[in-house]
Amino acid sequence: MTNQELWQAVLAQIQLNISQANFATWFKNTEISHQKEGRILVLVPNSFVKEWLQNKYNKNIFKILHDLDCNIREVEYQIGKAKIEPKKEEMIMPETDQLEFQEFKVNKDTNLNPRYTFDTFVVGPFNELPHAAAVAVSKKPGIVYNPLFIYGGVGLGKTHLIQSIGNEIDSAFKKNKVRYISSEKFTSEVVSSIKNQTIEQFKAKYRDIDTLIIDDVQFLAGREKTQEEFFHVFNILYEKNKQIILSSDRPPRAINSLTERLRSRFEGGMIADVSAPDLETRMAILKTKAQEKGVEFGEEIYQYIASVIKNNIRELEGALNRLVIYENLNHKKPDMEATQTLFKNILSSQNRVVTPRKIIQVVADFYDLKEREILNASRKKEIVRPRQIAMFLLRQELKSSFPSIGRKFDGKDHTTAIHSYKKILREVETDKKLEEEIVLIKEQILAS
């Protein structure tokens, strides 16, 4: 195996166990630069990543490498520029949730990935309705359902579906100007056009679009200026009967701090949700993907994988990749036993439950404190804040009652818990760093 193949194998496995956001944060622009006598040198883009990989991921990375090649005894991280950097304009960058190992050319005009089409989209009871709505919209853009709002959990095909509409319209209606954009990208366009005083150009660009597709609109939460600009764009297009397609991980009413007028706009058309696929559809998806990749693993193996991976189609694909890597490494197809070994980590991680104890442990760990320190009554600033965050998460993640949260922390009363919860809730809105920390803490809670 070349260094590149080796690192790809590591990344493929890591990707299965952490969120896309975390993956993009810590593993983008990394590579193995060389290996010698069992020592592997990994290039990382900066000291932040270096430290993080060393402290948080090294055990996993090492274990995967060692499983792949038992001669590997040590992994080191060094700051340096990865040579195989993807060319930006030609590929989908792993910005949001589109991290792929294969490279796909994105259409420069529409920003759509040609891979996402209705042909390759498997339909089952879990996505029948959004699929039907999507097909209808692609046949009569601007006429049937406007806006079309698709929501559902991570990895269930929202991006695939809304991009399929775009690709279909783009090829069937040559004059229809289609544009796909993620909400983060949209937000950064708003921010930079305000900064550069080019808001008029920004508006002109969007006024011109016939089919506007905006992905993951839950990220507009709390961004008032962006919402305001989006509201204008929305109205202009809507009044001209232009098609607007939106996706989100939750329904409009559940998006916090979305202005009321935008919420009612979102609710004004068709709302359809994608749920998790049933076993039969999971099998169908595995077989379809295998066929696309030109591989084949047999009914029994698919049965097994479809029975352990239930809630995420991206993970189903990841599982298939894992089988492919196994086959390449071992020059034979995995049998049932090998498959079970390959997926035993997934099984155990799916059974994880979040408990108050776990939340407190992870928060303590994250801020390098002892559990006792967080639970005690100390008023030291470096402890007060993590304690508030722990209380916040107990409320948010477990819906614990305020009195019960208070009691856990040295018998504080419920007002302290309420105060902490509200304080963090408020600060997260404006404090980017705090927001990031909380995202990372949540990841750790789920991963531990």
Least distance CB 229 / ligand ADP (angstroms): 24
Window of 53-61, 103-111, 115-123, 219-227 that interacts with ligand ADP by CB under 6 A: 115-123
How many residues sit close enough to Mg ion to count as binding (CB under 5 A)?
A: 3
Give me the least distance between CB of 20 and ligand ADP, in Å please. Answer: 8
Binding mask 46-85 for ligand ADP (x = CB under 6 A): ----------------------------------------
Regarding 127 and contact with ligand ADP (CB under 6 A), the answer is: yes
Query: Is 155 marked within a binding site?
Result: yes
Nearer to ligand ADP by Cβ, of 154 and 338: the residue is 154
Q: How far apart are CA 289 and CA 324, in angstroms?
A: 12
3-state secondary structure string across 92-155:
CCCCCCCCCCCCCECCCCCCCCCCCCHHHCCCCCCCHHHHHHHHHHHHCCCCCCCCEEEEECCC
CA 444, CA 390: separation in Å to the nearest integer?
Answer: 13
Task: Rule CB under 5 A: choose which of 127, 146, 159, 420 binds Mg ion.
Answer: 159
State which residue has the least CB distance to Mg ion.
Answer: 159
The span of 61-69, 71-79, 151-159, 179-187 binding ligand ADP (CB under 6 A) equals 151-159
> How many Å from the N-terminal Cα to the C-terminal Cα in the chain?
31
Q: Of residues 154, 191, 354, 447, which one binds ligand ADP by CB under 6 A? A: 154
> Binding residue for ligand ADP (CB under 6 A) from 43, 72, 77, 160?
160
**Smallest distance, ligand ADP to C-beta of residue 95, A:** 13
| Choice between 127 and 159, CB closer to Mg ion | 159
| Closest listed residue to residue 181, CA positions, set 170, 191, 166, 194 | 166
* Residue 316: φ, ψ to 5°: -60, -45
Task: Pick the closer one to Mg ion by CB: 99 or 262.
Answer: 99
What is the spatial order of strands in the sheet that 178-182 belongs to? Answer: 178-182, 211-215, 243-248, 148-152, 270-274
Q: Which of residues 250-289 bind ligand ADP (CB under 6 A)?
A: 285
Judged by CB under 6 A, the residue of 50, 158, 322, 387 near ligand ADP is 158
**Which range in 53-61, 116-124, 193-201, 394-402 contacts ligand ADP by CB under 6 A?**
116-124
Conformational region of residue 353, where left means phi above 0, alpha means psi within -120 to 50, and beta covers everything else:
beta
Residue 256 gets the label, from left (phi > 0), alpha (psi -120 to 50) or beta, of beta
Stretch of 120-128, 225-233, 377-385, 417-425 lying at the interface with ligand ADP (CB under 6 A): 120-128
Sheet holding 31-36, edge to edge: 31-36, 39-44, 74-79
Q: Kindly tell me which residue out of 31, 210, 229, 317 binds ligand ADP, with binding defined by CB under 6 A.
A: 317
Check residue 122 for interaction with ligand ADP (CB under 6 A). Answer: yes
CA 51/CA 56 separation, integer angstroms: 8
Give least dist CB 7 to ligand ADP, A. 21
Instruction: Candidates 51-59, 158-166, 225-233, 235-243: pick the segment binding ligand ADP (CB under 6 A).
Output: 158-166
Please tell me whether 318 is known to bind a ligand: no
Work out which of 130, 141, 147, 155 binds ligand ADP, going by CB under 6 A: 155
Q: Is residue 313 within the footprint of ligand ADP (CB under 6 A)? A: yes
Q: Minimal distance in Å, beta carbon 162 to Mg ion?
A: 8
Query: Which span (150-158, 194-202, 321-329, 368-376) binds ligand ADP, by CB under 6 A?
Result: 150-158
Taking CB under 6 A as the rule, which mask of x and - marks residues 336-375 in contact with ligand ADP?
----------------------------------------
What Å distances lie between residue 80 and 42, 58, 153, 237, CA to CA?
Answer: 9, 18, 36, 46
Question: Which residue in 6, 42, 72, 97 binds Mg ion (CB under 5 A)?
Answer: 97
Number of residues this chain uses to bind ligand ADP (CB under 6 A)? 16
Rule CB under 5 A: which residues touch Mg ion? 97, 158-159
Rule CB under 6 A: which residues touch ligand ADP? 97, 120-122, 127, 154-160, 285, 313-314, 317
